[in-house]
Structure 1
Amino acid sequence: MGSEHAERTGEYLEGIARIWQQDDLPAELEPYISVVKHFNRSGQLRYYPGSPLIARQLLREQDSLQLTELHPSDFPLLRAEFQKDNRARVERADGYQQLKAKLPPVSRRGLILIDPPYEMKTDYQAVVSGISEGYKRFATGTYALWYPVVLRQQIKRMIHDLEATGIRKILQIELAIRPDSDQRGMTASGMIVVNPPWKLEQQMNNVLPWLHSRLAPNGHGHTSVSWIVPE
């Protein structure tokens, strides 16, 4: 959190800094917050673990982790972090292509977490194509796609494209801390989950109001849990 980028943007001050030491934390958030505290044992918020580190901390003994990173600067760091972990495999590759190449897993069970950069407008179409290709090979997998809301129309188009794939059981979860805007900047973020665990809808309906009250104390924005495509 002391990096130049973190200090410049200050995003963490409106995010994790507001919730990680709350006494009334919902039970559903306890595993996640425990991971954050594991990396900040001094009681000061100095480090925030990325999704690969969070996933590793939550792995069971019988689980394995497949990590894909294409960025030339980030890949060596990711590889170095996991090089001694026998449960993890790190590859430099296009994540969208990996949805075709790596599925289905040997275990025939798995969670596919997709966290695109969204640096190009084509990412919104590419991720839908990737999920569609992955689903053809591994229809019982759980696919969890993170998305930012910068321009609402981009998200609407992505959802329309997902509906057109014919995939069933698609849940949308969203948290906004300010109203939609055409100005520069993210106003909300969300997850689109294909084949969600059966309690996820209920859990998110419990968690999101609490998160919203902490992250948007002025009451701006919204929360939503809804089915894009039901079962």
Structure 2
Amino acid sequence: MFSYRHAFHAGNHADVLKHAILVQILDYFNRKDAPYWVIDTHAGAGLYALDGEWAGQSGEVVDGLDRLLGAAQPPELVTRYLHAIQDFNPDGVANRYPGSPALTLRALRPHDKLRLFELHPTEIEVLESTLRHLGTSRRQVTIAREDGFDGLKRLLPPPTRRGIVLIDPSYEDKRDYRHVLQAVRDGLERFASGCFAVWYPLVQRIQAHEMARALERLPVEWLHATLTVRKPAADGLGLHGSGMFVVNPPWTLHEELRAALPWLTKTLAQDGHARHTLAISGQSRNATGDASATRKPAARAGHAADGRPVAQKRSPSRR
């Protein structure tokens, strides 16, 4: 169970979808002064070197974040995400990739709290080091070396009655699909108004499809977005896309994704099978698309559509 290291996949297309949505949710929660908690059930290492040994071996960032850097007219959801990446790369070159703990810490106000769970013995050591480097307060952030599925139960509901729960296990263990579904069900019993954000891989496993269908049957408000970047491999292996299922989503998220998903589909497409879906509770899927349209030309290097600089592409020699 400890073979998985997220550093191999840092900044890939799945991270783009997951973290762009997370940044949007955090921004929405910050629009009210009332404090909130963020609970991350599978925190990982927190910050990743894209020019380091782990990410350099896989090179998945080339077909993820790298395709966004300098691309033409990114929509608001993507621009906000790129600004977050830039904040961890002040020299303007994107060689560090922030995971969900780092992105959350960037967004939190002094009166908000972050609760992290990580079971991997090496990942938690790196996470603790990362948080020390970022200068976090122990009153604001706690880390538990514990299964996040178990630890989540005792933290709900948070004292603030406002909160975000991010659930994104590696799914190396097929039982994770069942554990995720049960965690959301149990979580809603304890914290019905909470925002639960579930990431899952699009792979050729029946458990992934069954979990998504079961989540859509929950009697709550939800949003379900998927992004497929290529045709599934003939051998059934590998990640051809990912999905995000959000319970009690910000009301602004749907419209932002309607604008962002077609752009992301075109920008991240690896072949003609790239597509996206977007559904909300009470409606059938109301947005689908593929990558048949021609990509737009690149924008002025290092700038987003609003003119603000964003992190630039890394030198190929450093990948």
TM-score relative to the length of structure 1: 0.91
**Is this contact kept in 2: 1:213–1:219, CA < 8 A?**
no
Give ranges in structure 1 of 5+ residues lacking alignment: none
Amino acid paired to 1:195: N
Correspondence 1:30 to 2:51: no
- Is structure 2 residue 275 aligned with structure 1 residue 226? no
Counterpart residue type for residue 258 of structure 2: N
Are residue 211 (structure 1) and residue 260 (structure 2) matched? no
Structure 2: distance between partners of 1:184 and 1:218: 17
- Percent identical pairs in the alignment equals 37
CA RMSD of aligned residues (A): 1.9
Whether 1:42 and 2:71 are equivalent positions in the alignment is: no
Partner of 1:123: 176
The alpha carbon displacement at 1:181 in A equals: 4.4
| One-letter amino acid of the counterpart of residue 241, structure 2 | A
How many residue pairs get matched?
229
TM-score (norm 2): 0.67
What does residue 30 of structure 2 align with?
none
Residue pair 2:230, 2:271 contacting (<8 A) in 1 also? no
Contact kept in structure 2, 1:142 and 1:194, CA below 8 Å: yes
Q: Say if 2:171 is the partner of 1:171.
A: no
Q: Does 1:5 align with 2:57?
A: no
Summarize deviations over 1:128-179 as a string: whole Å, max 9, x none: 1111111110000000001111115222211233356x43112210111113
**Compared with structure 1, are the counterparts of its residues 28 and 88 closer, same or farther at alpha carbon in structure 2 (3 Å cutoff)?**
same
| Counterpart among 69, 91, 104 of residue 144 in structure 2 | 91
Flag as ranges the 4+ runs of structure 1 deviating above 6 A.
none
Alignment of 1:82 with 2:147, yes or no, is no
Distance in 1, Cα, partners of 2:82 & 2:183: 31
Q: Report which structure shows greater RCO (CA 8 Å, sep ≥6).
A: 2
Does the CA-based 8 Å contact 2:231-2:271 persist in structure 1?
A: no
Distance in 2 between the 1:93 and 1:171 partners?
A: 29
Contact 1:168 1:230 (C-alpha < 8 Å) held by counterparts: no
- Counterpart-to-counterpart distance in 1, 2:271 and 2:216: 34
**Could you say which residue in structure 2 is the equivalent of 1:185?**
238
Paired with 1:97 and 1:6, the residues of 2 have a C-alpha distance of: 30
Is the CA contact 1:208–1:223 (under 8 Å) kept in the aligned structure 2?
yes
Deviations 1:52-106 (A, max 9, x none): 1111112233321111111111112212322441221111111111221110001
1:169-195 deviation per Cα after TM superposition (whole angstroms, max 9, x unaligned):
122101111134452110001101111
Question: CA, structure 1 residues 217+123, in 2 after alignment: closer, same or farther (shift >3 Å)?
Answer: closer
Any stretches of 5+ residues in structure 2 without a counterpart?
1-49, 284-319
Separation of aligned partners in 1, 2:211 and 2:192: 20
Contact kept? 1:152, 1:180, Cα under 8 Å = no
